[in-house]
Each structure stands twice: as structure tokens, then as C-alpha cells.
Amino acid sequence: MGMKKTEAKEYAKMLFLDTTQKLTNKEIADRVGVRAGTVGKWIKDEEWEKLRKSLLVTRQKMIGDLYDQLEWLNDRIREREVKVADSKESNTIAVITSAIKKLETETSIAEIFEVGTAFLDFLKPIDFDIYKKLIPVFDAFINSKLK
């Protein structure tokens, strides 16, 4: 017996978000047992691409890039004769520092997704009925964070 439509959609979503496999819509459709057009519609209607991008760009990577920019700017200031930042550089430093602080204190979509998925994986063998009920709630929660 085939999967129910909601189970097929959840499985397709999991396969789509798994960036290690890099499956095409057709490959996902074949594994799930639906048409490639159906997978494409799910991707578009539920903004899976947006979710996948947010999962790819981790907070630690962004913080690291910002620290690199800050270091580069400070190195340029140290290399010149007048070792004081001008107003434009000071503003840039303030913006980068603020962005770093925000990233270090806020929870990212990727982290929310990772923890939620781990919890659902933990729950699944314990109480499958509750697991099935929580999947759409979790999806709605993730989608609310994307907006």
C-alpha cells in the first residue's frame, strides 16, 4: 500500500531539504511515489527553496564572515599612518559589530529546524500518533519563522 498524500509530502520535503543528496524533483518524486510536477508544486507553494537556503547558510558561517570583514577593516586601519577609523569606517564597524551581536544572541531557522527535527525523530518510535499530529504544527511554526 502506498503512502498517504501527507506522508508523501513530508518525505518529499525531507528529501528536498537534505542537501547532502542533491536530488532532482524527478528523483524525489520517484522515491516518494508521486509525479515530479507534484513535487515542484509543493516546493513552490510551501516555499521549500527558501527554507533550504536558510538551512544552508548557518549562523556560525555568517558570524565567521562578519568577523573576517571586521578583521580586514581593522588591519587596513592599523597599516596606515593615522590609525583611527574615519566616520565611514566607524559606521561600518558599528554595523558589523551589531550584526555579530544579533547573530550571536538570536536563534536561527536552521537551529530551530535542526532541534525540531531531532525532537520529532526522537518522538517517532515512542508515540507515532503524536508524531504525526505534530508534523503539520512544526511545519506551520517553521513557516511562521520564515515570514
Averaged pLDDT, 58-86 = 91
Residue percentage of the chain with pLDDT more than 90: 45
pLDDT at 79 over 50: yes
pLDDT of residue 74: 95
Residue of 87 and 147 predicted with greater confidence: 87
pLDDT at 143 over 80: no
pLDDT of residue 85: 94
Contact 12, 28 (CB under 8 A): yes
* d(C-alpha 117, C-alpha 96), whole Å: 31
pLDDT at 109 over 90: no
pLDDT of residue 1: 41
Structure confidence by residue, pLDDT tens digits, 44-56 = 999 998 888 877 7
pLDDT of residue 93: 96
* d(C-alpha 131, C-alpha 123), whole Å: 6
Contact 145, 112 (CB under 8 A): yes
pLDDT at 2 over 60: no
Q: Which amino acid is at 85?
A: A
Q: How confident is the model at residue 126 (pLDDT cuts 50, 70, 90)?
A: very high
Q: Which residues of 75-96 are buried (b: 16+ CB within 10 A; e: fewer)?
A: eeeeeeeeeebeeeeeeebeeb
* d(C-alpha 36, C-alpha 24), whole Å: 9
Flag whether the pTM goes above 0.75: no
Residue percentage of the chain with pLDDT more than 70: 95
